[in-house]
Amino acid sequence: MKMQQIKQITLLFLLGSSIMFTSCKKEYINPSAASVPSVTTSVDGLMNLCAGLQRRFTIGRQSPLYTAPIGGAYSVFALYTLNIGNTAEKELETGKGAVTQGNAVVSQMWAQCLLTRTEAETVLDNLSVAADPTDRVGLKAYASIFYAMSMGTLVQFFEKMPLTKGNNAVFSTRAEALQKVITLLESADADLATTNPSTKFLSKVPAGIDIKNTVKALLARYYNMQSMITGTYNATSGNKAMTYAAAASLTIKSEFRFTATTPNPLGEWNFTVNVFGAIDSTLGLKNGLAPVPAATDPRIGFYISRTGPTTFPLKAFALNTTASYPVYLPGEMSLIVAENLARQNLFAQSKTALDLVRTKTTDIYGIGAAQPPYSGPLSATDLLQDIYKQRRIELFLSGQELEDSRRFGRPAPNSVNEERNRTFYPYPLIERDNNTNTPADPAI
Reply yes or no on whether the pLDDT at 131 is more than 70: yes
Q: Please indicate, yes or no, if residue 442 is contained in any of the structural domains.
A: no
Q: Please indicate, yes or no, if residue 443 is contained in any of the structural domains.
A: no
pLDDT digits (tens, 9 = 90+) for 162-219: 999 889 999 999 999 999 999 999 999 999 999 999 999 999 999 999 999 999 999 9
Mean pLDDT of the chain: 91
Where is pLDDT greater, at 135 or 2?
Answer: 135
pLDDT digits (tens, 9 = 90+) for 89-102: 999 999 999 999 99
Single pTM value for the model? 0.92
| 353 close to 330: Cβ distance less than 8 angstroms | no
User: At residue 412, what is the residue type?
Assistant: A
pLDDT digits (tens, 9 = 90+) for 34-92: 445 667 889 999 999 999 999 999 999 999 999 999 999 999 999 999 988 999 999 99
Please give the residue range of the domain that contains residue 310: 3-18+36-432
Split into its structural domains, the chain has a count of: 1
Q: Please indicate, yes or no, if residue 23 is contained in any of the structural domains.
A: no
Q: Read off the CATH number of the domain in which 98 is found.
A: 1.25.40.390
Q: Please indicate, yes or no, if residue 25 is contained in any of the structural domains.
A: no
Q: Please indicate, yes or no, if residue 438 is contained in any of the structural domains.
A: no
| 219 close to 185: Cβ distance less than 8 angstroms | yes
Q: Please indicate, yes or no, if residue 86 is contained in any of the structural domains.
A: yes
Reply yes or no on whether the pLDDT at 5 is more than 80: no
pLDDT band at 309 (very low <50, low <70, confident <90, very high): low
Other Cβ atoms closer than 10 A to 362: 12
Long-range contacts from 17-21, C-beta under 8 angstroms, 24+ separation: 18/60, 20/60, 20/62, 21/62, 21/107, 21/108, 21/111, 21/112, 21/115, 21/430
Q: Please indicate, yes or no, if residue 105 is contained in any of the structural domains.
A: yes
| 360 close to 369: Cβ distance less than 8 angstroms | yes
Reply yes or no on whether the pLDDT at 284 is more than 80: yes
CA angle 267, 268, 269 (to 5 degrees): 95
pLDDT digits (tens, 9 = 90+) for 365-377: 999 999 999 999 9
Q: Please indicate, yes or no, if residue 440 is contained in any of the structural domains.
A: no
